[in-house]
Amino acid sequence: MERTFSRSLDSLGDIVSFLKGAADTLSLDEKTRFAVNMAVEELFTNMIKYGKGGDDSIEVGLEKENSRLIIRLVDPNSEPFDLTDLQAVDTSAPLEERRPGGLGIHLVKCLMDEVRYEYKNRVTRIRLVKNI
């Protein structure tokens, strides 16, 4: 299952609807639904904020391979932003030293079993795996 979404935070509502339909079709449990929803929303938002792409839409796809859920996000026209190479978030720092930067990607890494980033010819491809 896949669908493209316009590069705007206003697409988040449509993404939630798409993921709900896909989760129903794939019979995903509540915990997996929540994880998928969060991972896709965080990465989509990141692509809009930091991908500096043009007007091209972003593709989101889901498929089940045995006991693995594969999630793909493709931005066809973007600047490089390797989310697998970011500095780790210090989740034990005192309140006054906390910063929100990088928190979304940190959560994606916590929720997913594999996170892969690929950038070639201005195309960003992110592939996530969630064991189910």
Partner 1 sequence: MFQIHRVSDSEIRLVGHFDASHQATAAEVFDSIKESCSVRFDELDYVSSAGLSVLLYTQQRLSKDGGALKLTGMNPHVRLVFEYAGFDQIFKIE
Q: Does 50 bind partner 1 (CB under 8 A)?
A: no
Considering only residues 2 through 21, tell me which ones interact with partner 1, judged by CB under 8 A: 9-10, 12-13, 16
Among 67, 91, 120, 121, binds partner 1 (CB under 8 A): 91
Minimum CB–partner distance for residue 124 and partner 1 (Å): 18
Phi and psi dihedrals of 51, rounded to 5? -75, -20
Among 122, 124, 118, 116, which Cα is nearest to 39's? Answer: 116
CA distance 44 to 46: 5
- 85 with 35: CB under 8 angstroms? no
Q: What does the block give as tokens for 49? A: 């904020």
Q: What residues line the site for partner 1 (CB under 8 A)?
A: 9-10, 12-13, 16, 30-31, 34, 37-38, 41-42, 45, 89-96, 98, 100, 103-104, 106-107, 110-111
